[in-house]
Amino acid sequence: MVSVRADRPIAEKGIPDATIARLPVYLRTLNVMADDGVATISSGELADAAGVNPAQLRKDLSYLGTYGTRGVGYDVRYLRFQIGSQIGSAQEWPVVIVGLGNLGTALANYSGFGSRGFKIVALLDPKPDLIGRTVVGVPISDLADLEQIVERTEVRIAIIATPAAGAQEVCDRLVACGVRSILNFAPTALSVPPEVNLRKVDLGQELQILAYHEQQQMADPLESGPNADGTGSVHPHGVTA
């Protein structure tokens, strides 16, 4: 159902970061479609379900060398495989979570990791009362043993969910162990070498952005605009300019 142009190898194309960020959204949408028994899907249907416009979706998929068949669309199973292979969910990635407070524990319990190719293989925390407990079948180990555990479990991706004060030290130790992909939930900015991929998740910042938009929407009815006769604008206190 899908044609692939062999003259455009993926490795030579340099996929933009914005496209990479949308690929997991497409994959999640395709997973739902496949579970519902959908065999083929048009670019318009997939774009609507993923919340993008069809032109953007077609451009994104073209970076993978994938072009839907006119009048037929995309083969759902094959497109899932292609996107999964590109973003690494076609294999299982070992992950460590450092910091088992409320947030770290919630992340460890997240059921979506497995279906997306991630396996929590280690949990680390310095608190004596947490060490030895298990979360989703994985024992919490002492943070002091980070280096040995990373080596033993062959961790490739780390999630930092520690308080701000200790986050940089944890990050430095992970990098020294060879971890090159880090997802930071700690409420602080981290410094890493250029070869390390660091992504920051700031829940407070995201809420503030939503609060900004909410405030803007609340203010809309009070914003100035033309009168019915087009002679002026109405201000919050009913004064006409």
- Read off the CATH number of the domain in which 27 is found: 1.10.10.10
Residue 131 lies in a domain: yes
Question: What is the predicted pLDDT for the residue at 112?
Answer: 83
The residue that leads in pLDDT, 229 or 73, is: 73
For the chain, the domain total comes to 2
Write down which residue in 57, 87, 117 finishes a domain: 87
Residue 235 lies in a domain: no
Residue 97 sits in the same domain as residue 81: no
Residue 31 sits in the same domain as residue 111: no
Hey, how many other C-beta atoms are within 10 angstroms of the C-beta on 151? 11
Residue 109 sits in the same domain as residue 61: no
Residue 24 sits in the same domain as residue 108: no
Question: What is the predicted pLDDT for the residue at 116?
Answer: 77
Give the residue numbers of the binding site for NAD(+). Answer: 99-104
Residue 220 lies in a domain: no
CA-based Rg of the chain, rounded to a whole angstrom? 24
DSSP 133: -
Give the residue numbers of the binding site. Answer: 99-104
What pTM did the predictor assign?
A: 0.66
Domain encompassing residue 25? 2-87
- Tell me the pLDDT of the chain averaged across its residues: 83
Decide if pLDDT at 108 tops 80.
Answer: yes
Residue 232 lies in a domain: no
Residue 28 lies in a domain: yes
Residue 98 sits in the same domain as residue 197: yes
Decide if pLDDT at 160 tops 80.
Answer: yes
Decide if pLDDT at 188 tops 50.
Answer: yes
Most confident of 48-57, 144-153, 199-208: 144-153
Sign of CA dihedral 195, 126, 105, 150: positive
Nearest to 91 by CA among 137, 157, 33, 22: 157
Decide if pLDDT at 35 tops 50.
Answer: yes
Most confident of 24-33, 37-46, 122-131: 122-131
How far is the C-alpha of 10 from the C-alpha of 171, rounded, in Å? 31
